[in-house]
Chains A and B, each alone.
With several copies, the nearest count.
Chain A
Amino acid sequence: MLLYQAFAVGLVMAFAKFINAYGSFAQLMPFISYILLALLLGESPTEALILGAAVELAFYGVMQIGAVLPQDTAVGGLLGVAFALMLHQKPAVAVTLAVPISMLAVVVWNLLKFWFTANVELFDKYIDQRNIKKFNRLWWIQVGVYELAYFSLAFFAILLGTAGVKAFVTSIPPTFLTALTVAAGMLPAVGMGMLLKFVWNISFLPFFIAGFVFAAYLKLPIMGVSILGVAFGLVMFFIDREINTVKKNKATTIQSSGNDEEDFFND
């Protein structure tokens, strides 16, 4: 039974890590993996979604950009949800497990990337040898090892870790769980901070303020704030375009500025 479960989680993990790279699809669909997980484990997809929502909320805003991968939320999320699902625990438990795992799992990716880097030499050589077969073989071997690594990670984590996790989880005192829930509620602040750091420019401050005021005071829901944000972005885009036109010293009047960019929008 546990063997099957470990195998199932391993498969979903392999899938999740595949679409993590393939087309960057995973960025937008972690819940697909959670549903898959529930189906393969014979658990309720609804429950998996509720657990997954708690985990994704804690990861909210964590981005993988450039060279740095701050957390491997795919690995953390899947294992956290898998354990909580199998042990029928609360969302707070899923979060407790997911966060540290997501941080540890980064090591695996670093090791893999290190190995890929070492192999670059080989790719170079194969091209020099005009040997496309070897080139392609090494490519697919790397893809395979990548997949296998994460499959194994999940497989052994479940196989060997479940007992320990169970013991740990059942020994959690209730105040600890409350504290967990509080901490989980606070965690999205980290993701928000990361995102802000990435896009921040002091001249965006007013829009940050506006977003906050509309949500905090006027209770505008997420969707509404997003739409309003689009309006803000567009206004500034068009004002910038206007200023830009002047900057280029084109002697055009406001309305009839026949600059090329307009082609994109004026239809």
Chain B
Amino acid sequence: MTKTTEKNNVTLTNHEKKLTKKLFWRNMFLGFNMSYTRQQGVAWDWVHQPVYREIYKNDEDKYWEAMKRNLEFFNTTPNMVGTVSGLAVSMEEENAKASEGSFDTAGISGMKIGLMGPLAGIGDTFFSGVWGLIIMGIAISFAKKGNLVVAALPLIALLPNLLIRWYGQKYGYKLGSKYIQKAVQDGIMTMFTKASSIVGVTVVGGMIATLVKFPIVYKTKINGTVFELQKVLDQILPNMMPLALAIVCFVLLRKNVSPVKVLLGVVVLGFALTFLGITGA
């Protein structure tokens, strides 16, 4: 258990470095071959197979037992797998070193199951939600003008993905499970998720005003003065209709109306209003 307590000593031996790098690259494949029953379970096993081979190089039985055991259900945001992967490997090493029966491998499963949820929470929120939103927002604003600078954007955009994979794995491996699970228990994870969500919600609020278009062209004459509906709406609240539309979509989706239906509904609405001469371009 020395490793898990030597918190400050996070430098790796040469051999560990090689193993770490290999694991880092193989973990990129976690998103492949997902099944309904095990999700990323098979992928986890394929990813870690050479590492298990290495760890249990002296014990054929334990190696196959590990392969069997790790084929279990697993599912998290692939970008977040690093931490779990690092931790799991460090625990398998303990198991390899431990005398027969003195290490309960159920702990490894427990850790995987315990962490994959919170990590998926923060991961999906941050990567699919917030970060993707911001980067795509910028990318689209460049692409709209045909600006090829957009090709360089992934260099920045992928950084958090790569860094979290790399340092997650490194710290998971070196710091051990105590530290990480304490963070989860202390609510750090939920606090992060909450903070990320706030960023996301703020951005969505801004996006609705910037990206959603609901161009009303309807105008009429009342008592001789031209009445432009869009102008009246703007006086009440700018970007009022985009806001209303987004809220309606949100409410419908929250009531578990299928996204496909909502999507079709919006298209139909756009067509209907345009044919009625209310919206236009």
Contacts and interface: CB of A to CB of B under 8 A. Distances in A.
Q: Do chains A and B touch in the complex (CB under 8 A)?
A: yes
Interface of A: 20-25, 27-29, 31-32, 34-35, 45-47, 49-50, 52-53, 56-57, 60-67, 70-71, 99, 103, 113-114, 116-117, 119-120, 123-124, 127-128, 130, 132, 135-136, 139, 142-143, 146, 175, 178-190, 192-201, 204, 207-217, 220-223, 225-230, 232-234, 236-237, 240-241, 244, 253-255, 260-261
29 contacts: A23-B165, A29-B158, A31-B139, A56-B143, A60-B133, A66-B124, A70-B260, A103-B263, A117-B37, A135-B45, A146-B32, A178-B281, A182-B270, A185-B213, A186-B212, A186-B267, A187-B267, A189-B266, A193-B250, A201-B197, A207-B205, A208-B202, A211-B201, A216-B237, A222-B206, A232-B198, A241-B191, A254-B191, A261-B186
B211 A60 contact: yes
B111 interface: no
- The 9 A-B pairs with the shortest beta carbon distances in the complex, nearest first, are A211-B205, A183-B270, A185-B213, A225-B206, A193-B249, A229-B202, A46-B146, A215-B209, A21-B31
B161 interface: yes
Given A120-B35, A183-B271, 16 more contacts: A28-B153, A49-B150, A116-B42, A128-B68, A132-B49, A139-B33, A178-B280, A185-B270, A190-B259, A192-B204, A192-B212, A211-B209, A212-B208, A222-B137, A225-B206, A255-B187
B280 A63 contact: no
Interface of B: 28-29, 31-38, 41-42, 45-46, 49, 60, 64, 67-68, 71, 75, 77-79, 120, 124-125, 127-148, 150-151, 153-154, 157-158, 161, 165, 182-183, 186-188, 190-215, 236-239, 242-243, 245-254, 259-260, 262-263, 266-267, 269-271, 273-275, 279-281
Contacts of A182: 213, 215, 270-271, 273-274, 279-281
| Majority secondary structure, B binding face | helix
Nearest to A129: B64
| Majority secondary structure, A binding face | helix
A192 B212 CA distance: 9
